[in-house]
Chains A and B, each alone.
Chain A
Amino acid sequence: MKDINIEEKEREFQAKIDADIKIEPNDWMPAEYRKTLIRQISQHAHSEVVGMLPEGNWITRAPNLRRKAVLLAKVQDEAGHGLYLYSAAETLGSDREASIDDMHAGIAKYSSIFNYPTLSWADMGMIGWLVDGAAISNQVPLCRCSYGPYARAMVRVCKEESFHQRQGYEIATTLANGTPEQKAMAQESFNRWWWPALMMFGPTDAASKHSALSMKWKIKRVSNDELRQQFVNVTVPQAELIGLTIPDPELNWNEEKQGYDFGTINWEEFNQVVQGNGPCNKERLDARRKAKENGVWVREAALAHAEKRKAKMAS
């Protein structure tokens, strides 16, 4: 039996949420709210960090210096996003290193999209345009999330994301307007990324297990299916404008709903990738583990140096 005190606190908490008053780190919150946020924010942080790997693959092979500088800046932003988010999770009492270890052990997830390989330069275009584009659709409503530190981190992230999408679309546009080979490369890449990008919005509303409570707590403010529909509606005309074909024979404008109907997502593939059986899951985790292990001595040395300096100053 819950004691009266907790019920009263829960009522007050929900009243704050309903009145759009933000929750801050030291405020009382239900244990489940804290847990849900820690899971979501750290998953988001892991995604930002793992998300650097597919693009990192092309930094040294960018076609010119401008593209290389842009890609570097973009990937550096993603590292920053990871940091804002780990910090936000820490305000809830999450241990940063433990949460990273959970990801390395496969206990904590990151966005499945990053388990797909980057096979051609055109993939840098598709990732920026479609993957960052889908991330933006997800993140804009999170700027109004009920938890203050997460909402503030998202405001910063969203400001930085819009350049990511534009540089991707610019790459896609350049290739689509290029030689027949370049155009074919763009279309081939688009065909590979379209469906995984749609999967980024998560399971259908009917199948989504965390949604109802998250909506009530205003952690989540728009449903997976609504966000996915919005993304399709804005992206299809962008593809048509540069002459790329959507790899979906069922795609059709629906006058009545003022949106596109589209084919069924391959949820079996989605589940396989989530469960660790995507094309690059192992490679991504190995790379992250290696990065952490190879950096241990640097972190230890920096601490030892700081201690030594402190001792010197004291004496």
Chain B
Amino acid sequence: MSSNEWPLWEVFIRSKQGLSHKHVGSLRAADAENAINNARDVYTRRSEGISIWVVESKLISASDPKEADSLFDPADTKIYRHPTFYEVPDGVLHM
């Protein structure tokens, strides 16, 4: 029976012009058009959005949480990538 289930889609909503689309949740739908219509009914009933993206969940590739340390820890030691790392003499303006 499960083979008859509609595919799963991830839903992204732009809440207003000028902001990026943000992941809000997922739903099942037969195709993209159906997914957008369902997303409108489920995720924008209170003016939460002006634009919807949907993408089939199975098409998303994700980083492996087990590799989070090796992927992201190296950034922690590179504080010189932040402007606050640098000393600027008193009196310097507009920098």
Q: Which residues of A contact B6 (CB under 8 A)?
A: 299, 302-303
Q: How far is the CA of A310 from the CA of B56 in the complex (A)?
A: 14
The verdict on A76 contacting chain B, using a C-beta distance below 8 Å, is: yes
B4 near A83 with CB under 8 A, answer: no
Interface of B is mostly: mixed
B30 near A90 with CB under 8 A, answer: no
27 interchain pairs, CB-CB under 8 A: A24-B65, A26-B65, A27-B65, A28-B65, A28-B66, A80-B41, A80-B42, A83-B27, A83-B42, A84-B25, A87-B25, A90-B26, A95-B2, A96-B5, A96-B28, A97-B1, A97-B2, A97-B5, A98-B2, A101-B1, A156-B25, A302-B6, A302-B31, A302-B34, A305-B31, A306-B31, A309-B31
Q: How far is the CA of A262 from the CA of B55 in the complex (A)?
A: 52
The verdict on B62 contacting chain A, using a C-beta distance below 8 Å, is: yes
Sorting the interface of chain B by its residue count into under 10, 10 to 19, 20 to 34 or 35 or more gives: 20 to 34
Interface residues in chain A, defined as those with a beta carbon under 8 Å from any beta carbon in chain B: 24, 26-28, 73, 76-77, 80, 83-84, 87, 90, 95-98, 101, 152-153, 156, 160, 296, 299-300, 302-303, 305-306, 309-310
Q: Considering the complex, which residues of chain B in the window 3-46 have a beta carbon less than 8 Å from any beta carbon of chain A?
A: 4-6, 8, 25-28, 30-31, 34, 41-42, 45-46
Which 8 residue pairs spanning A and B have beta carbons closest together? A302-B30, A306-B31, A306-B30, A87-B26, A26-B65, A80-B42, A303-B30, A27-B65
Q: Which residues of A contact B34 (CB under 8 A)?
A: 302, 306
Interface residues in chain B, defined as those with a beta carbon under 8 Å from any beta carbon in chain A: 1-2, 4-6, 8, 25-28, 30-31, 34, 41-42, 45-46, 62, 64-66
A299 near B4 with CB under 8 A, answer: yes
Partner of A80, one of B31, B45, B62, B64: B45
The minimal Cβ–Cβ distance linking A295 to chain B, given in whole angstroms, is 11
The minimal Cβ–Cβ distance linking B3 to chain A, given in whole angstroms, is 10
B64 near A26 with CB under 8 A, answer: yes
Shortest Cβ distance from B1 into A: residue: A97
Q: Which residues of B contact A28 (CB under 8 A)?
A: 65-66
- Give the residue among A73, A76, A306 with the most B Cβ atoms within 10 A: A306
Q: How far is the CA of A137 from the CA of B28 in the complex (A)?
A: 29
The minimal Cβ–Cβ distance linking A22 to chain B, given in whole angstroms, is 12
Shortest Cβ distance from A88 into B: residue: B25
Q: How far is the CA of A313 from the CA of B27 in the complex (A)?
A: 24
B42 near A300 with CB under 8 A, answer: no
